[in-house]
Structure 1
Amino acid sequence: MSFKTSSLRDQFLISMPHMHDAHFEHTVTYICDHSEYGAMGIVINRPLDLRLDALLKHLDTDDGLQVKDNRQIYAGGPVQEERGFVLHRAQDSPWLATYQVSDEICLTTSIDILEAIAAGKSTPDALIALGYAGWGAGQLEREISDNAWLSCPATLDILFKLPAEQRLQAAASTLGINLDLLTAQAGHA
C-alpha cells in the first residue's frame, strides 16, 4: 500500500539529539525541494572558517570588486561541497540561475549574486553555503519514520536573523520542543 506524503519544501528539518551522523548531528536544514524523486536542502547552522572575500578570491572574480559585505560562508551539506548555493529573500533582481522555493525564498547558484552581496548591492537576507544535503526517493521519509528528524515550517527570522548557534533550538521551539529534553528511548510505565 502506498500513500502520498506531503512535501517538506520550505520547511526546516531538525536533527534529533540521538543522531550521530557527522554531517547532520545538531543541524537544522532548510528544505528547498521535496518530491517523490527525493529531497534537497541546505544546512543553515554550520558556519565554516571562510568568509565571502576568500571565496570570491578563490573563484577568480572581478579583481576590482570592493567587498563591503564580508559575510560568513556555511557548510550546506555533504553533496557537491565545492558548489555554492545562496538562500535569499525573493526579490526583483534577476540572477542568472535562481529557483523559487516559496513566495519569500529563492535559491541561487550563479556567481552574480555573490558579487552583488559582496558589493553591498543585494538583500542583507541571504545565506551562502558550500554543498547541499540530498536524499534519494523515499530516503527522507524513511529517516523521518525512524525518528531521525523533526520538521517545522521555516521562518525568515530563524533563517536570516538569528546567529547560527541559536537556529537549531529556535526551530525546535516553534514546535514547543526543548531538544535537550528529548531521548531516543521509549518510556515504560
Structure 2
Amino acid sequence: MARRAMPASDSLGEGGYLAGQLLIAMPGMQDPRFAHSVICLCAHSAEGAMGIVVNKPLDGLSFDDLLRQLNLDPVPPQRRIRLFAGGPVEGGRGFVLHTTDWSTEGSLPVSGEVALTASVDILKAIAGGGGPRRGILALGYAGWGPGQLEEEIQRNAWLSVPPDEALLFGEDDERKWRDALAKLRIDPLLLSSTAGRA
C-alpha cells in the first residue's frame, strides 16, 4: 500500500500562505514543465502565487552571453552566476534569487535569508565582483492565479518544505528534488499520486 504524502498545508505560513517555502512536485505531476521540479515560492496571497524553479539549469546560454546581450560590462565578468529556466511565464524576463546580504530598492524579501531582484543592478554588481554571496539567475517564472495553487495542493500535486541554501543554490541540480523530499523524510518510491479523503 502506498504511503500518503504529508499535505503542503502542514507548513503553511501566516494567513495560510506558503511564500518563502519550497514546492516539491509530486512524482505523478502531469505537467511535463514541472516534473521533478523544486520551486522557491516567492509570493503567495489571495491574488495568486509566483515562484522560481531552482533545479532546471538553462542550456545554451551563459552569464557571459547574457551580459553581452544586455550590453553590460565587464565581459568577461569578474564573477559569474548560474542560469536556470525559472518557469514557463515570461521566459525572456530575468530574476535573481539570492541571499539577503545584498539588496537594492526593488528587491522583494522572500524569507529572512532570501530575496528576489529583477533589476540589472544586481547583474552589474555580480559581473563586477560584488553582489550577493549566493544566487541564481532565472529566466521566466512559475505563476498561479487566485486559488489555483491551493487547488493543485488539494489535488496532491505539490508538497512543501522550508528552504535551505543547498536546495536553493547548490550545484547538484539533479539531486535537489530527491534531497527536498528527504527533508520531509519521504521516499519518492512510496508516494501516491492520488489524493486521499479522510
TM-score (norm 2): 0.85
The match for 2:91 among 81, 97, 111 is 81
The match for 1:57 among 61, 68, 76 is 68
1:6-155 aligned within 5 A: 6-49=16-59, 50-62=61-73, 64-91=74-101, 93-155=102-164
Find the counterpart in structure 1 of residue 3 from structure 2: none
Q: For the Cα contact (< 8 Å) 2:67–2:75, is it kept in 1? A: no
Amino acid at match of 1:78: P
Q: For the Cα contact (< 8 Å) 1:44–1:159, is it kept in 2? A: yes
Structure 2 CA distance for aligned equivalents of residues 128 and 141 of structure 1: 27
> CA shift at 1:96, angstroms?
4.8
Structure 2 CA distance for aligned equivalents of residues 55 and 186 of structure 1: 42
The match for 2:167 among 158, 174, 177 is 158
Superposed CA deviations along residues 23-52 of structure 1, whole A, max 9, x for unmatched, are 111100000010111100000000011221
Unaligned runs of 5+ in 1: none
Structure 1 CA distance for aligned equivalents of residues 192 and 51 of structure 2: 25
Higher helix share: 2
Give the fraction of aligned pairs with identical amino acids, expressed as a percent: 46
Superposed CA deviations along residues 96-152 of structure 1, whole A, max 9, x for unmatched, are 521111221110000111121122212231011000000000000000000111111
Q: For the Cα contact (< 8 Å) 2:155–2:195, is it kept in 1? A: no
Unaligned runs of 5+ in 2: 1-13
Deviates more, 1:138-147 or 1:46-55: 46-55
Higher strand share: 1
Q: How many residues align?
A: 182
Structure 2 CA distance for aligned equivalents of residues 175 and 78 of structure 1: 27
Q: 1:162 to 1:180 in 2, by over 3 A?
A: farther
Deviates more, 1:25-34 or 1:109-118: 109-118
Superposed CA deviations along residues 153-183 of structure 1, whole A, max 9, x for unmatched, are 1112211234211111111111001223323
Structure 2 CA distance for aligned equivalents of residues 86 and 70 of structure 1: 12
RMSD of aligned alpha carbons: 1.9
